[in-house]
Amino acid sequence: MFAQSGVHPRPLIMKLICLTVLSLCLAAISSAQPKAQSTDKTLPAWTKKIGARSQPKKAKTCSANAFGAKNDGVSDATGSIQKAIDKCAKGGGTVSFEKGEYVTGALFIKSNVHLRIDDGVTLLGSQDESMYPRLPTRVAGIEMPWPAALINVNGATNVKISGGGTIDGRGQKWWDKYWALRREYEPKGLRWASDYDAERVRLMVVSRSSDVTIENVSLKRSGFWTVQVLYSDHVTVDGVKISDNAGPSTDGVDIDSSSNLLIQNCDIDNNDDDICLKAGRDFDGLRVNRPTEYVFIRDNLVRRGGGVISFGSETSGGIRHVVALNNRAIGTKEGVRFKSAKTRGGFVEDVIIRGLKMESVPLPFTFTLNWNPSYSYATIPEGMKDIPAYWIVMNTPVMPIERGYCQFRNIRIENVEVVGANRIFTAAGLADKTIQNVTFANITAQGREAGTIEFAENWMMKNVRISTDAGENVKIANSKNVETPIVVKK
């Protein structure tokens, strides 16, 4: 064939060999580089402009040790570290640490500061509650005073927290406090109040801030939520590892009434929602009326936890313009989780979830508009005295009643693989508020049963194939124009 074309074979063969060797070399180099980000030209244009737009660049370094911080894992280093942060904030720069363990209470990171926690450095959360001053904030959808977090970025711009080291909240103290209070409160009909009254310390809060990067740090044993991004914009959470969160409500990353967020390359293992989008609760959330929007979640690995990607239950200000691309879950309790309650109001809309792989996730697709009634609906028992102000706020009714119904609509879930599930679909809207315009496309799922869909409207199933123990299809009730998947027996 070569002779007929007038081309000698040896130069072509040598060229092919050279190209092959070059390709192998480039692949080896690529494997040594940080993980390349997912690309998809069909995604909304806003996904290319997401996350922090700037980072601290000043060369000045402020050593916490030079200000007296001891790395013995016993001495209180709070004041010394804060002095280093404040010094570095004058003109900008990096706060550094010698290797070791530093006990600290609440720290407040200022604009243009890079808190660099290198490999071999651990910040240990102080066990002294007085080291976390109570400040105005929002917790679980309600604005109220609450203890500061271990790491606080409040009203700041151009901040970075990174380095490969560890921030350990040592949260057992606050986990025990919560369970003791809940045992006391539940017989009194106050299950809903225990989450607020326990005042557990969060690990990291970014509040009313812009252009913040949290990158390559290990976060563990948070007293409450691990990373909360509140009333902020243009924030990146990249390559963060969250682990050892065995306590109650130890969410991974909570995006709370914030915009332009990028969450990527994280490894999350905790005891509640892994990546969760929130926007306020009930009367107070409707008053604030601030959405969570423009959120890009990609290339994350989620292990234990309550939901791979959760929407709500705090939905009052609305959640919209969300893309989740190429994430993976192993052993999470629930997968794609939409939850709200009859008093939340708001909406969840314009959501694209694509390229998700779920292994041993019992409930991969869940939707509910009446989530956890004992927590969601606050009622103050008769005869109670000395009632906290936020109890009254939580008991302020949402009127008219219809204003409290959340709308789930315009959701697309596609290119998903599910193995080892229990119930594939668990979806329940309300008679007065159906779940509308949900599309599932290119789904393969294996589970014990197909599940149920109730009070839904305009659900499409395109190339959705399910195998179950009995081969029975999804049970659909009180719904309109809801397609069923192809179901076969295992």
Average per-residue pLDDT in the chain? Answer: 93
Contacts of 154 (CB under 8 A, 6+ apart): 108, 135, 205, 207, 208, 209
- If one counts every other C-beta atom within 10 angstroms of the C-beta of residue 473, the result is 14
Nearest C-alpha neighbor of 115 from the set 50, 52, 155, 61:
61
The strand pairing partners of 301, in sequence order, are 267, 328
* Range scoring the smallest mean pLDDT among 32-46, 115-129, 255-269, 299-313: 32-46
pLDDT recorded at residue 39: 62
Contacts of 391 (CB under 8 A, 6+ apart): 193, 378, 380
Q: How confident is the model at residue 365 (pLDDT cuts 50, 70, 90)?
A: very high
Check pLDDT > 60 for residue 17: no
- If one counts every other C-beta atom within 10 angstroms of the C-beta of residue 5, the result is 8
Q: What is the mean pLDDT of residues 419-430?
A: 98
- If one counts every other C-beta atom within 10 angstroms of the C-beta of residue 345, the result is 26
Q: How far apart are CA 302 and CA 69, in angstroms?
A: 35
Check pLDDT > 90 for residue 11: no
The two structure tokens encoding residue 113: 């500061």
Pick the CATH number of 99-489 from 2.160.20.10, 1.10.10.10, 2.40.110.10, 3.40.50.620: 2.160.20.10
Pick the residue with more confidence: 181 or 2? 181
Check pLDDT > 90 for residue 14: no
Q: Collapsing DSSP states into helix, strand and coil, what is residue 62?
A: strand
What are the φ and ψ backbone dihedral angles of 195, each rounded to 5 degrees? -65, -30
Residue 276 class from Cβ within 10 Å (0-12 exposed, 13-18 middle, 19+ buried)? Answer: buried
| 299 CB-side CA count, 13 A | 14
- Please work out, in degrees rounded to the nearest 5, the angle formed at the alpha carbon of residue 302 by the alpha carbons of 174 and 207: 55
E-strand ranges in 301-387 read: 301-302, 307-311, 319-325, 328-330, 334-339, 347-354, 357-359, 363-368
**pLDDT tens track for 94-113:** 999 999 999 999 999 999 99
**pLDDT tens track for 214-243:** 999 999 999 999 999 999 999 999 999 999
Residue 99 per-residue DSSP state? S
The two structure tokens encoding residue 269: 């293992």
Residue 232 class from Cβ within 10 Å (0-12 exposed, 13-18 middle, 19+ buried)? Answer: buried
Domain ranges of the chain: 99-489
pLDDT recorded at residue 482: 98
- If one counts every other C-beta atom within 10 angstroms of the C-beta of residue 180, the result is 12
Q: What is the mean pLDDT of residues 307-324?
A: 98
Residue appearing with tokens 């123990």: 469
Q: Are 164 and 238 in contact (CB under 8 A)?
A: no
Q: How far apart are CA 236 and CA 228, in angstroms?
A: 12
**pLDDT tens track for 79-94:** 999 999 999 999 999 9
Q: Are 114 and 71 in contact (CB under 8 A)?
A: no
Going by their DSSP bridges, the two strands 134-139 and 142-147 should be labelled as antiparallel
Q: How confident is the model at residue 40 (pLDDT cuts 50, 70, 90)?
A: confident
pLDDT recorded at residue 28: 38
Q: What is the mean pLDDT of residues 416-423?
A: 98
Q: How far apart are CA 50 and CA 359, in angstroms?
A: 29
Contacts of 258 (CB under 8 A, 6+ apart): 229, 230, 231, 232, 233, 235, 292
Check pLDDT > 80 for residue 43: yes
Nearest C-alpha neighbor of 356 from the set 331, 322, 327, 323:
327
- If one counts every other C-beta atom within 10 angstroms of the C-beta of residue 4, the result is 6
Q: How far apart are CA 229 and CA 310, in angstroms?
A: 15
Check pLDDT > 60 for residue 24: no
Q: How far apart are CA 311 and CA 367, in angstroms?
A: 9
**pLDDT tens track for 160-203:** 999 999 999 999 999 999 999 999 999 999 999 999 999 999 99
Q: Are 102 and 81 in contact (CB under 8 A)?
A: yes
Share above pLDDT 90 across residues of the chain, in percent, rounded to a whole number: 90
Q: How far apart are CA 164 and CA 217, in angstroms?
A: 5
How many Å from the N-terminal Cα to the C-terminal Cα in the chain? 51
* Range scoring the smallest mean pLDDT among 54-58, 136-140, 285-289: 54-58
The two structure tokens encoding residue 360: 């041993």
